[in-house]
Chain A
Amino acid sequence: MENEKFEPKIVAFVCNWCTYTGADLAGTSRLKQQTNARLIRVPCTGRIDPVFIIKAFEKGADGVLVSGCHPNDCHYNTGNFHARRRWIFFRQLLDFVGIDSSRLYFSWVSASEGKKWVDVVDGVINSVREKGPFNGYKKLNKEIEIPVK
């Protein structure tokens, strides 16, 4: 296992209207990207509970990406603003609970930004690849003596 090339695992929470559609556009335009991201479609970034992100790290994600509509362009008017406010606090909490907050990425990708989506995804994957695997959660579990599965 140790000798195998490290391939980061990325979970991306994307909103249905902008980023998911932007990722669709990247597909329709055949814009190649790396295979490491797994998208989870939610209606709006406002739907994303911060605990989802912790859960993703717990389940082995090396990086998490959250992407939605640009400010003012939210399909639900204000959902992305609520999301943004949440992240501002949540980022600090992440470090507090022992998860390297630099492994959490945010972006705004609209439905017409297929190219930007590719840049964002590849950027996140490359950046996480440089950081290496995320072991923080396992370490944390050891510290508080929860048996690692």
Chain B
Amino acid sequence: MRIGVFICHCGENIGRTVDCPSVASACANFSGVVHAEDYKYMCSDPGQNLIKQAIKEKNLDAVVVGSCSPHMHEKTFRKACSDAGINPFLVEMANLREHCSWIHDDVPSATRKAIDLVRMLVEKVKFNEPLIPIRVPVTKRALVIGGGISGIQASLDIANAGYEVVLVEKEPSIGGHMSQLSETFPTLDCSQCILTPRMVEVYQHPRIKLVSYSEVENVEGFIGNFSVTIRKKARSVKDELCTGCGLCVQKCPIKKVALSDFDEGLATRPAMYVPFPQAVPNIPVIDRSVCTYFKTGKCQLCKKVCGREAIDFEQQDQLIKEDVGAIIVATGYKLYTIDKKPDESMIKGYGEYGYGKFKDVVDGLQFERIASASGPTSGEMLRPSDKTTPKKIVFIQCVGSRDESKGFSYCSKICCMYTAKHAMLYKHKVHDGEAYVFYMDIRAGGKNYDEFVRRAIEEDGVKYIRGRVSKIYEENGKLIVKGEDTLAGVRVEIDADMVVLATAMIAQNDSVKLAQTLSVSYDKYGFFNESHPKLKPVETSTGGIFLAGACNAPRDIPDSVSMASAAAAKALVLFGSDVLEREPVVAKVNEATCAGCFYCQKVCAYNAIEQKEIKDRQGNVIKVVAYVNSGLCQGCGTCNATCPSKSVELLGFKDDQIYAQINSFAEVF
């Protein structure tokens, strides 16, 4: 075999700690290596041409590139080599940057390690075989999980491009958190006014199948060919019959039985309810935990008044299957709750701020509901405890965010802006009121954002105090807010009527479970990980699954919308071709040695292993062996490690290839 070794300096990234020329000259002495050289930027055009030229001149038949992580540039170098006539699977990459130069300081030992890393892959590549990509058809339908603004945008984009979309929403209505907002920054336009037309567009779109009050139960398959099981929760209302007249909701005698989620617990709702008047679909749900019929077997008033006979008390959860080619995850966020509701996550909370204890300490979304025209106070600025207008209001930023002791070291990004908005909304409604904002830093990056905060301070007279609040307590009907002004270096005490906490945006409770269902990775906070923080911000590590909005990280509406359109574009790129090429890293059975024990079948997570009969010329079955369906095989190699006779091998990671690496790891050291 004629192997070429190419060592990249990556500018100074590798060259600074690894002596690249001496790595190249050491590699030149390895058996089988006929060409070795180093270059400043191997991935650049001239760098790639260098490889192509060497392949032709030296008649190379395998290549090892010592550069960055294969996750970064494996495709680049495989493509370059395949352009020069080498099968792309005869190219291996030694990770000299992420796994060597960036993590070590000592040049001699880093250089020794680099030589070892390259040698191990030179030995491996000797056992590589040419492989041909597997071609699989693409199902040109998309699944969008989550019907907030991100999910709505992604669904509309894909549907308008001509492909079918299945939009799954967990709540009875789409709209997400945006539908709860009163006004939006930095324009102060009404949130519902810009959102509800889009919700209706989704509902009326001929190519969007809206599955509300449902959750994704299971996902099988792979890019271009996912099979999704959706659990449609029992609404107790037949959605195909219901016209949304609302008579049942009016007649439901159990009026104020539960706190409204939509109003963030500031208002009540009946047992039969639609979350909000503009809900899409406008189909009510029976809350079985509080409905009289489900508790006592009597009532059925809703059933009696329904002219369409749409009420179905016996309705069960339904499992529906959908085949899709791409999945967009847009499950959004939730607010860091302190002790409003029992929280499963281990959040210690801010007991010192008295949230949950004092009625007039509310969180950001609750303030949105108070300020909203569709909210419990019809937009009048009234505090929850005694429904009077607060004359002094305090906003506290970074409650949860940027606080390591509460487990969240990140900035929630939107709170500076929404607090400025809240303060402005307050001042616009209560002209003689005083608004104070406690902040750590003002982070108002974005078009017209900083101007917006300045407007709050300069035009609306909101008083910004740089410092943290240490304690809030009640005295004579007032909330005494104790804090410090770090710029003036004095202690501050404000007797406020109401306090609004800008609580952190955190991942949804069930985000980890969904990540595991989808096989996508997530960070320590439960947000889904993008494939690359800069170059692949909407892709996940699993092909065909894309991210949109705040399920990836705290994000405001404009960013979520652009990310949703980006995710839709990625799905459309996938739908642009009829067949997809998949890496041929799949298992293959040696039928001559397979004993037919089928241990491999038992360990395969993808049902990719079938039984195949081997017949003689007369058609008599002489033995039954394993057979790998390469369309289903995902290439984990568990079968390979399990097979007692080593008859099934994972192409690209065969035993020979791995033993070659083990055998060669310790020659220099």
Enumerate chain A interface residues (CB-CB to B < 8 A).
Answer: 7, 9, 11, 17-18, 20-21, 23-24, 26-28, 30-33, 35, 38-44, 46-50, 52, 55-56, 59-61, 72-79, 82-83, 86, 110-113, 118
A43 touches B658 (CB 8 A): no
A46 touches B637 (CB 8 A): yes
B110 touches A47 (CB 8 A): no
Q: A31-B103, A112-B529 are in contact. Are A47 and B637 (CB under 8 A)?
A: yes
**Quick one: closest B residue to A112, CB to CB?**
B523
Q: A52-B662, A60-B666 are in contact. Are A75 and B529 (CB under 8 A)?
A: no
Chain A residues lying within 8 Å of B95, measured Cβ to Cβ, are 24, 27, 39
Chain B residues lying within 8 Å of A60, measured Cβ to Cβ, are 666
Besides A32-B103, A48-B641, A82-B603, 8 more A-B contacts (Cβ < 8 Å) are: A24-B99, A26-B98, A35-B104, A42-B653, A43-B636, A44-B638, A56-B665, A76-B605
Q: A40-B658, A43-B636, A47-B650 are in contact. Are A18 and B585 (CB under 8 A)?
A: no
Instruction: Confirm or deny: B120 has a beta carbon within 8 angstroms of a beta carbon on chain A.
Output: yes
Instruction: Confirm or deny: B541 has a beta carbon within 8 angstroms of a beta carbon on chain A.
Output: yes
Partner of A42, one of B605, B637, B663, B665: B637
CA distance in complex: A47, B641 (Å):
5
Whole-angstrom distance between the Cβ of B587 and the nearest chain A Cβ: 10
Chain A residues lying within 8 Å of B585, measured Cβ to Cβ, are 43
Instruction: Confirm or deny: B661 has a beta carbon within 8 angstroms of a beta carbon on chain A.
Output: yes
CA distance in complex: A83, B638 (Å):
8
A46 touches B641 (CB 8 A): yes
B96-131 toward A: CB 8 Å interface, digit per residue (1/0)?
Answer: 011110111110011011001100100000000000
A52 touches B637 (CB 8 A): no
Partner of A111, one of B100, B541, B635: B541
B519 touches A75 (CB 8 A): yes
Whole-angstrom distance between the Cβ of A119 and the nearest chain B Cβ: 13
CA distance in complex: A35, B603 (Å):
36
Whole-angstrom distance between the Cβ of B665 and the nearest chain A Cβ: 5
Partner of B99, one of A27, A76, A112: A27
Whole-angstrom distance between the Cβ of A113 and the nearest chain B Cβ: 8
CA distance in complex: A77, B542 (Å):
12
Whole-angstrom distance between the Cβ of B649 and the nearest chain A Cβ: 11
CA distance in complex: A120, B103 (Å):
14
A82 touches B642 (CB 8 A): yes
Whole-angstrom distance between the Cβ of B124 and the nearest chain A Cβ: 9
Partner of B521, one of A9, A79, A110: A110
Q: A9-B666, A21-B541 are in contact. Are A46 and B105 (CB under 8 A)?
A: no
Q: Size of chain B's interface in residues, with CB distance under 8 A? A: 53
Chain B residues lying within 8 Å of A17, measured Cβ to Cβ, are 521, 541
B648-669 toward A: CB 8 Å interface, digit per residue (1/0)?
Answer: 0010010100110111011001
A9 touches B665 (CB 8 A): yes
**Quick one: closest A residue to B104, CB to CB?**
A35
A77 touches B519 (CB 8 A): yes
Chain B residues lying within 8 Å of A83, measured Cβ to Cβ, are 638, 641
Chain A residues lying within 8 Å of B113, measured Cβ to Cβ, are 35, 38
Q: A28-B102, A59-B663, A76-B638 are in contact. Are A38 and B120 (CB under 8 A)?
A: yes
A46 touches B636 (CB 8 A): yes
B541 touches A35 (CB 8 A): no
CA distance in complex: A56, B659 (Å):
9
CA distance in complex: A2, B541 (Å):
47
Instruction: Confirm or deny: B71 has a beta carbon within 8 angstroms of a beta carbon on chain A.
Output: yes
Q: A33-B104, A39-B99, A112-B521 are in contact. Are A61 and B665 (CB under 8 A)?
A: yes
Whole-angstrom distance between the Cβ of A36 and the nearest chain B Cβ: 8
Partner of A59, one of B605, B636, B662: B662
Chain B residues lying within 8 Å of A35, measured Cβ to Cβ, are 100, 104, 106, 109-110, 112-113
CA distance in complex: A28, B98 (Å):
6
**Quick one: closest B residue to A38, CB to CB?**
B665
A112 touches B522 (CB 8 A): yes
**Quick one: closest B residue to A71, CB to CB?**
B516
CA distance in complex: A49, B641 (Å):
5
CA distance in complex: A74, B113 (Å):
29
CA distance in complex: A141, B595 (Å):
32
A59 touches B641 (CB 8 A): no
Whole-angstrom distance between the Cβ of A109 and the nearest chain B Cβ: 12
Chain B residues lying within 8 Å of A48, measured Cβ to Cβ, are 641
Chain A residues lying within 8 Å of B110, measured Cβ to Cβ, are 35
CA distance in complex: A11, B665 (Å):
8
Chain A residues lying within 8 Å of B658, measured Cβ to Cβ, are 40, 42, 49, 52
Chain A residues lying within 8 Å of B655, measured Cβ to Cβ, are 49
A24 touches B71 (CB 8 A): yes
Whole-angstrom distance between the Cβ of A116 and the nearest chain B Cβ: 10
Q: A24-B98, A40-B661 are in contact. Are A47 and B636 (CB under 8 A)?
A: yes
Whole-angstrom distance between the Cβ of A33 and the nearest chain B Cβ: 5
